[in-house]
Each structure stands twice: as structure tokens, then as C-alpha cells.
């Protein structure tokens, strides 16, 4: 049986970005943003990300940073016992997506990655997906620290005057 970690390790760059987008959409259709925001406010990294301006959130990462961040967040998700099943579900859609063949969508917005990172930082949450209920446990913020630092650095550089 293929594990969530195996799926993430074997993704090509376009698939990694597509998976991050797909999982973002799945997560935020199962839990509202206000809940995630409220549950991440007490965390220093959460405060950093919540402090970004609208202009910073609209900034797009370059392709290599998009891939790096997507892989990092997917790895965190695949290592969460409660969430790893969402990787397999998303993979069912992504592996058959024809847009991957022509390289559509090779960059990702800061805001999308901020949302996923806040979700990972947030305390335990229960999510209802079509295949059942999943529980996301609070992760060690060290697991997402590199993502937070890169998001902050990129967002500040992109909007510097």
C-alpha cells in the first residue's frame, strides 16, 4: 500500500503545486477560515502570518519557491496521522489532471500558502470530508518554521518599495 509520505516524495514539481492547491480547497471547504485564524492567533508564527497585508498575500511566489513550499507543507500534512488520508484523496484527482502535462499553474500565491500554514499551526481541529471525519492535531511549529520564514521573507521583498 502506498503511504501519504510515498505519494508526496514521488510528486513531480507541477503535481506538488497542484496537490497543495487541491488540499487547500479541500481543507477550507471542511473548516472555515475564521476557526483556523482563531486557533492560530496564540502562536508566534501565526501572528507573523496574520500580520501580512492584503498586497503581500496577493503576491505570487516564483516557480521554485512555490514548489519548495508546496513540498514542505505537503510533507507536514502527510506526517499528521489524522490528515494523511487527505493526501491520498487529493492524489486521486491530481494524478489524472491533464493540465499537469502543459505546466499550467506553476506558481502559488502567498495567501494560499499562508492559509495552509495557519491551518497546520492551529490547534486540534475536526474536519468532515466526504470520506469521513478527520482530526488534525497541533503540529510542532518547528515543522513549519522554514515555511513561515520563507513566506515572510518573500512577501516583504515583493512589496518593498
pTM: predicted TM-score of the whole model, two decimal places: 0.84
Task: Write the CA distances from 156 to 43, 52, 64, 82, integer angstroms.
Answer: 20, 9, 18, 33
Burial of 114 (C-beta count, 10 Å sphere; 0-12/13-18/19+): buried
Q: CA quadruple 154, 105, 4, 6: dihedral positive or negative? A: negative
C-alpha cell at 153: 521573507
Is residue 96 within 8 Å of residue 43, measured between CB atoms?
Answer: no
- pLDDT band of residue 88 (cuts 50, 70, 90) is confident
Cα 41 to the chain's mean position, in Å? 18
9-48: burial string, b at 16+ Cβ within 10 Å, e else: eebebbbbbbbbbbbbebbbebbeeeebbebbeebebbeb
pLDDT digits (tens, 9 = 90+) for 8-51: 999 999 899 999 999 999 889 888 899 888 888 877 888 888 88
pLDDT digits (tens, 9 = 90+) for 48-79: 888 888 988 888 888 888 998 999 899 988 88
Amino acid at each position: 500500500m502506498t503511504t501519504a509520505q510515498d505519494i508526496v516524495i514521488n510528486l513531480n514539481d507541477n503535481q506538488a503545486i497542484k496537490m497543495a492547491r487541491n488540499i487547500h480547497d479541500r481543507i477550507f471547504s471542511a473548516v472555515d477560515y475564521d476557526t483556523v485564524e482563531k486557533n492560530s492567533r496564540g502562536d508566534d508564527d501565526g501572528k507573523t502570518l496574520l500580520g501580512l497585508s492584503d498586497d503581500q498575500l496577493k503576491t505570487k511566489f516564483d516557480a521554485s519557491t512555490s514548489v519548495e513550499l508546496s513540498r514542505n507543507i505537503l510533507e507536514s500534512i502527510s506526517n499528521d496521522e489524522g490528515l494523511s488520508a487527505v493526501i491520498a484523496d487529493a492524489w486521486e484527482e491530481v494524478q489524472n489532471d491533464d493540465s499537469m502535462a502543459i505546466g499550467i499553474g506553476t506558481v502559488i500565491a502567498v495567501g494560499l500558502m499562508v492559509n495552509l500554514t495557519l491551518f497546520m499551526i492551529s490547534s486540534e481541529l475536526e474536519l468532515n470530508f466526504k470520506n469521513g471525519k478527520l482530526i488534525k492535531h497541533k503540529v510542532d511549529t518547528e515543522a513549519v518554521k522554514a515555511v513561515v520564514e520563507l513566506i515572510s521573507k518573500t512577501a516583504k521583498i515583493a512589496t518593498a518599495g
